[in-house]
Chains A and B, each alone.
Chain A
Amino acid sequence: MPITRRRLLAGSAAGLAFPALARAESADKPRLTAISQWSAGSDGAAISALGKLFEEHGGIWQHNPVPGFTTEMMNKLRAQIIAGDPPAVSQLKGPEIAAWSKIAPTVDISTLVKAAGYADKAPAELAKSCQPAGHWIALPLQVYRINTLFMSTKGMQRAGVTRAPKSWAEFNDTAEKMKAAGMIPVANGGIRWDDGMKFEIALAGINPDIYRRAIMQLDIDALKGKEVLAAFEQLRKLANWMNPNIAAQGWAVNLPAFVKGDMGMVLMGGWAQGNLMRAGATPADFSSGPAPQESGPPCFDLNADCFIFWKPKGADLEAGQKLFAELVMQPATQEMYSKITGSIPARTDVNLQVDGFTDGQRDSAKNLREAIAGDRVLLSLGHNMAQPNGMTAAMIDVLTDYVHNSAIPAAEGQKRLVEAVASAQ
């Protein structure tokens, strides 16, 4: 059949018309546009599983991951908001929920939350961050304990260590033993938040109350206090036990050496478990528990992932948001998600005794319940939960510089941290 102008026109018209037809057909089907930073690894697998669940419930799942840090995702979100076309939901967390909710209209999902009985199931700190103006505009999905210590089973055998250290003094002993056995005691990454997180774990382990005052409330007296100095001193020790060859690489490059027992310990949020399992490790290869804790029972340094709901254009997106919110709040969904990523469900009433969760996750969930009861829940600095981005970045500048430059004494590091806080305020 020769291609004539008329046929070409007819063909293009049909091509234009059919997607429109398809759209008309699916107008009633709930549709969800979403962006997040979860593109690969266990995070990518988990969000894909959530999307599949959404599709099984009759929805159209349109997820656009933006790989990299949360801030990379935020740049796309900003662009979409400026263009007047925000996604129906996007990942966002901590104080950023309040900050971003001021620049574009969000959806009040309080009735859905009430219907699901979710309000008193999520930890209070999280619930608060999801209702910056008094009503729910975001939903927590999963929670990570930042102050988590992963021990390599083979590494422990090699160094003759029988149990995970409970205090920083014990931690330092353990690290010395591992070093003597020819291992690298602390598996770390060379990326800035990783350094910030080490400090946060040190300070939270030394004194959670001081952490709350110094890091979450930016109390100058607390920042200048002896506990913060002690945290800097512990951070220097940690830095000296890290893999010196890590340049700008991520922490996860160490995981094979960690499983083999060439590296002993990982101080990392629960997602390290998701990464380990995804890389082929089994629960026998490692154990996890709270990071060293002094002054009382273990605190819970919390990092959580939430979804914020933006005002959609179109009934299909509204229906999609409703379906998505209902799914995210269901215990079964959170259970499925946490099993993949290594987190614990944001709902504190999910039963973790079932198969698929590890002892580390069960310990983390128990830790969270006890910390809520004992008012020892802290918000993570390194993961943008304690402070907005600008303040976090200013503080982490000081911490990452300190970690990589052993010429800076602890007192000088502390002084710089105080100055950075003052100038970023």
Chain B
Amino acid sequence: MRTILPLPAREPKAGRPEVADVWRRRIGGALTQLAIWVPLAIAAGHVVVFTVWTTWVSFTASTLMPDYSWVGLRNYWAVTRTANFQIAYVNLLIFGLGFVLLTMALGLLLAILLDQRVRGENVLRTIFLYPLAVSFVVTGTVWSWLLNPGLGIQKLVNDLGWTDFRFDWLVQSDKAIYTLILAGVWQGAGFAMALFLAGLRSVDGELIKAAQIDGAGPWRTYHRVLLPTIWPIFVTVFVILLQSAIKAFDLVRALTGGGPGISTMLPTLVVYDFMFQRSELGRGSAAAVLMLLSLVVVLLPYGLYVRWQRQRQARA
């Protein structure tokens, strides 16, 4: 810089901002780091610390308050033997599969229909996405009225003249779990649709044109070209829905409250019940740890899959 003699007067002016720039950049960089790492560390700390603590408590004799005397697997044994717990996991299987598969099917159908460049697509998309803006508690409450045979759909149809019509799943022990699926699908289908639609729109137009030139009809285009191209989105939607099914709590609490009887118990409800209704912290923690394990069972294959795919892409 000093060699540029024709402009000596400018040198100090040019020098100062440079120094300030460096500092500004440094502070900015530090702030960015701070903004990322501090919350991340706190969040991770919370998750890790409380997970470890809950796991620890699950091996202790804690009841009303934490009590750190070791009892081994006794809480696990006691919890898994309760009718509540067994019903909850059977229900999770029914609800999880029903909710995830139906939501994906309906979401995909809506996405494909919307993909036909229909008029008023934005309005329709908003309408279908709207349930997502409603919390599960509200969904549960609204559906608990709609499905109540004495107030909702059944009464409406009966009053219209079809007096034999029965739609009383909500109060039937063996069918109430399907009302959860119904309400869950209503809520989740719009979300699945949005993801699928985004996927469909992201497919290269050339690909579709090529398929059309080759004489593929709409069915074949979707079946053979579009859907296989967006299959990673299927995996994503599947995992997001499945983990939300496993941790479903508010929906069942508002819609059936675990009833009739204990027929719609879900694992989350069991945890809540043991911890906060029965004041058995040890057993509640054991149920919570078992829930975490069931989430791991779902998320671990997904994580491995993502890793495998990344490696494959790196190789390609």
Contact = CB atoms under 8 A, between A and B. Distances in A.
B82 A248 contact: no
B280 A390 contact: yes
A248 B263 contact: no
A403 B255 CA distance: 19
A100 B64 contact: yes
Nearest to B257: A248
Judged by DSSP, the binding face of A is helix
Interface residues of A, number: 37
Interface stretch (A26-34, A36-44, A213-221, A392-400): A392-400
Interface in A217-237: none
Interface stretch (B49-57, B119-127, B167-175, B230-238): B167-175
Given A398-B83, A404-B173, A423-B81, A247 B273 contact: no
Nearest to A248: B257
A404 B148 CA distance: 15
A401 B86 CA distance: 13
Contacts of A420: 82-83
A420 B262 CA distance: 14
Contact of B260 (A243, A405, A407): A405
Given A390-B278, A393-B277, A398-B83, A247 B260 contact: yes
Size class of the B contact interface (CB-based, 8 Å)? 20 to 34
B151 interface: yes
A247 B145 CA distance: 9
B234 to A, nearest CB: 35
Interface in A320-369: none
Given A245-B151, A247-B148, A400 B262 contact: yes
A91 to B, nearest CB: 15
A403 to B, nearest CB: 6
A71 B277 contact: yes
A405 B173 contact: yes
A190 B279 CA distance: 23
B261 A403 contact: yes
B171 A247 contact: yes
B58 interface: no
A190 B260 contact: yes
A67 interface: no
B175 to A, nearest CB: 12
A404 B257 contact: no
B256 A74 contact: no
Interface string A83-112: 000000000000000011001000000000
B65 interface: yes
A158 interface: no
Given A403-B261, A404-B259, A420-B83, A248 B151 contact: no
A247 B276 contact: no
Contact of A401 (B83, B256, B276): B83
Contacts of B255: 248
Contacts of B65: 78, 81-82, 103
A393 B274 CA distance: 9
B151 to A, nearest CB: 7
Interface in B228-256: 255-256
Contacts of A247: 144, 147-148, 170-171, 256-257, 259-260
A71 B256 contact: no
A398 B144 CA distance: 24
Given A82-B65, A390-B63, A420-B83, A245 B148 contact: yes
A402 interface: yes
B259 A248 contact: yes
B199 interface: no
Given A82-B65, A191-B257, A245-B148, A404 B263 contact: yes
Contacts of B174: 405
Interface string A228-259: 00000000000000011111100000000000
B78 interface: yes
A100 B84 CA distance: 26
Nearest to B145: A247
B279 A390 contact: yes
A395 to B, nearest CB: 11
Interface in B279-311: 279-280
Contact of B261 (A75, A400, A423): A400
B279 A74 contact: yes
A167 B256 CA distance: 34
A63 interface: no
A81 B64 CA distance: 11
A179 interface: no
B171 A245 contact: yes
B64 to A, nearest CB: 6
Contacts of B150: 243, 245
A398 B278 CA distance: 15
A420 B81 CA distance: 10
A172 interface: no
B276 A75 contact: yes
A166 interface: no
A128 interface: no
Interface string B141-185: 000100111110000000000000000101101100000000000
Interface string A401-425: 1111101000000001000100100
Contacts of B84: 397
A196 to B, nearest CB: 11
A243 B147 CA distance: 15
B274 to A, nearest CB: 8
Contacts of B273: 393
Interface string B198-215: 000000000000000000
Contacts of A398: 83
Q: With a 10 A CB-CB cut-off, give which of A244, A416, A420 has the most chain B CB atoms.
A: A244
Contacts of B151: 245
A190 B65 CA distance: 30
Given A247-B256, A247-B257, A390-B279, 16 more contacts: A190-B171, A190-B260, A192-B262, A248-B144, A248-B256, A390-B278, A393-B273, A394-B82, A394-B278, A401-B83, A401-B261, A401-B262, A402-B261, A403-B261, A404-B263, A416-B83
6 contacts: A71-B279, A190-B257, A243-B150, A245-B150, A393-B277, A400-B260
Closest 8 CB pairs of A and B: A245-B150, A404-B260, A404-B261, A248-B257, A401-B261, A405-B173, A390-B278, A393-B278
Interface of A: 69, 71-72, 74-75, 78, 81-82, 99-100, 103, 190-192, 195, 243-248, 389-390, 393-394, 397-398, 400-405, 407, 416, 420, 423
